[in-house]
Amino acid sequence: MFAVCAIALLCLGSLSHSADPACEDLVRPLDQLDPAHLEGTWTVVAGSMTTPEYSEKFRTGDSASISFVNGTTFSRAFRSNDSCQYLNSNITLKGSSFDFHQYNITVTFLQTSCPDCLLLRFDNMSKEFQRMYLFSRRREVEQKEMDEFTAQAQCLNSLPPVVKDPTKPICPEQMSNDAETQPDEKTE
């Protein structure tokens, strides 16, 4: 009888990590997304991915930033080897998420205790977690904010976060308004 109880407890214990209430809170989507709060530029501080390939690709870039315009345009700027690449997409916010139809990706805004941060979770269209990024108005965050991000990554069974070097320059804002209206336009 003892062996049966021990096996039952072990089985329940292994299920408890995935249903951990602390994890449910840590990876909960935002209840209310204020589009006005999104306006402006956000710099990537850290990223956590599900595969070593995603992690390595993220690690090789110098810096990255995103910006939202009127809640309808999502721009990304990537700097690598003193060169900038810009991508722009028209989006429609739906609750606490938006879709990248051309990439078959859903982006969800998650809760974070960091007051000037955005936490974005990227899932494929099968709703499988792919990667998560911590953005901030600052170039680096406090240790407690990074610890929270690390715990969030662990809850999603992701690889340890890759932290960007805050001393690396970011790309300047794009000068041309024309590029903002063209979906996924790449400019250098």
Output the tens digit of pLDDT for each of the chain's 188 residues.
444 333 333 333 433 344 577 999 999 999 988 888 899 999 999 999 999 999 999 999 999 999 998 878 899 999 999 999 999 998 888 999 998 877 889 999 999 999 999 999 999 988 889 999 999 999 999 999 999 999 999 999 999 999 999 999 999 987 654 444 344 444 44
- Per-residue pLDDT at 4: 39
- Per-residue pLDDT at 19: 54
Q: What is the rounded CA–CA span in Å between residue 90 and residue 101?
A: 10
- Per-residue pLDDT at 126: 84
**Contact predicate 50/61, CB 8 Å:** no
Global pTM value: 0.82
- Per-residue pLDDT at 107: 95
- Per-residue pLDDT at 120: 98
Domain 39-181, CATH class in plain words: mainly beta
Q: What is the rounded CA–CA span in Å between residue 110 and residue 118?
A: 8
DSSP string spanning the chain? Answer: -HHHHHHHHHHHHHHHTTT-HHHHHHTPBPS---HHHHBEEEEEEEEEESSHHHHHHHHHSSEEEEEEETTTEEEEEEEETTEEEEEEEE---BTTEEEEGGGTEEEEEEP-S-TTEEEEEEEETT--EEEEEEEESSSS--HHHHHHHHHHHHHTTPPPPEEP-TTSPPPPPP--SHHHHSTT--B-
**Contact predicate 141/163, CB 8 Å:** no
